[in-house]
Amino acid sequence: MPELPLGSATFRAAAVDLGGSSGRVVSATVDGERLRIDGVHRFRNRAFTDELGLRWDAQRLYRDALVGLTRLRREGPAFTSIGVDAWSGDYGLLGYDGLLDAPFHQRDARTERSFPIVEEILPAAEAFRTTGVTALPIMTIYQLAADREAGRLDTVQQMLLMPDLLGRWLGAADVAEATNVSSTGLALPRGGGWDVSRIEALGLPSRIFPDVVFPGTVTGRVSEGILAPGDATDITAVASHDTASAVIAVPARDQDFAYVSCGTWILTGVEVDHLITSDQAREAGFTNELGLDGTVRFLRIAAGLWIVNECMREWGLDDWGARSTAARRDLLARADAAPSAGVLVDTGDPRLLRPGQMTARIAELVAESGGRMPTDRAGVVRLVLESLGAFVARQVEEAATLSGVDVRVIHLVGGGSESSILAQAVADRSGRTVTAGPSEATSMGNLLVQARAHGAVHGGLADLRRMVRASTELRNYEPAPR
């Protein structure tokens, strides 16, 4: 276990947390039984389209993260460690000279062609019974199959998942972190590493898959010239799948809980100690992913605040300036006060997964439900948030039934935890108490793994969650009387 620098009174670290619409760098110190966030730097993440398809500007993301790291470093003591987490599925392909080109976006349509090709070779139903991982077109396995079909892997030397790509640029070794690997569709169950038999069956070059490490592994040191002169800052592998980090920071007191991690995606599930591979679980769209300390995150993924964000983009409210930020806040405040539309849509409908024309798609679903589309933007936002709440409540009930977990409390974390509409809708529809917060759960989970790896905190998940409760103001929502 790494040790804190000689003479350091507290442990200070930085979390680089990348999401589908924005990124942030969060710095914090561990002081006694509390994690104290002392700085946050936010930046936008936007995909772009070129002649090949929908892509990510990974190098710009890295530059924006560096701006945040250097700014927060100037505002306090040196960082003992930096950890990076991001969304799952996407990756960068590297040759001898570095990144070959911009990584593809998981929503690019190319996987519509590769999905049936993989299904023919590795049927999804059989894979689920073995690994517990359900088949989704956004997964790494289908993206790599598309790359193979296009001949893009011929000169590739390394494939790095998004958080590990940024870690490499900071100075880390080329590795793949286990919680993220577990969601690729190419992993052995329970953190067993890459599944070579599946890789070879698809004709993928095994040379491009890096060694797998577990959360808490120090993978390198930040290169000279990135931070302040004389800094000796480790790069620590965290639970780099952003949902895995978020679930670490669920402030649960016992095991009778469900979690809802709500950002661009909304992930609803329970924490268990074994894979759930029943046909009912597969048919319901649930998957099993690795969590910290060998836990299993049994969950379902669906569109979350992506739906609201796409509406905002359609309305011209997606700029990053102060004026757009104020307009978005005003719209959300008006949504809080708006009357309910009296109709709900199924936010799990696949029509809501693609970008563009989001309000028209919502209107189509409203019409199919026999309701009327709100005529103002605040009403549309409220409709989406209430519909997300109803969807989550159904998923909680299904997760509880399939897993046998006696869910008594639902923990809502991430950006969606700031929405009282969403939290109250989940409580009302589920008939269970909802505890909202922390909104920075992913960054907190990231930071706590770093702190434990460097000896600043000790214990298991229950101890880390106790620190979250001591460090966060939480809000409870009770179901309305029926």
Residue 359 and residue 225: Cα distance in Å, rounded? 47
SS3 assignment, position 185: coil
Residue 187 and residue 47: Cα distance in Å, rounded? 27
Residue 169 and residue 82: Cα distance in Å, rounded? 12
Helices 322-337 and 377-403 meet at what angle, rounded to 10? 70
Residue 111 and residue 22: Cα distance in Å, rounded? 24
Give the list of residues 6+ apart from residue 242 with CB closer than 8 angstroms, or none.
Answer: 17, 18, 19, 85, 86, 87, 88, 263, 442
Residue 425 near residue 388 (C-beta atoms within 8 A): yes
Q: What is the 3 state secondary structure string of 20-72?
A: CCEEEEEEEEEECCEEEEEEEEEEECCCEEECCEEECCHHHHHHHHHHHHHHH
Residue 268 and residue 370: Cα distance in Å, rounded? 27
Residue 409 and residue 328: Cα distance in Å, rounded? 30
Q: For 385, what's the count of Cα atoms within 13 Å in the CB-facing half-sphere?
A: 29
The catalytic position among 242, 256, 330, 346 is 242
SS3 assignment, position 218: strand
Q: b/e map of 83-122 (b: 16 or more CB within 10 Å)?
A: bbbbbbbbbbbbeeeebbebbbbbbbebbeebbebbeeeb
- Catalytic residue flag (residue 57): no
SS3 assignment, position 183: coil
Residue 449 near residue 245 (C-beta atoms within 8 A): yes
Residue 87 and residue 62: Cα distance in Å, rounded? 15
* Peptide bond just before 438 cis, omega within 30 deg: yes
Selection from 241, 234, 295 nearest residue 1 by Cα: 234
Q: Which residues are catalytic?
A: 242
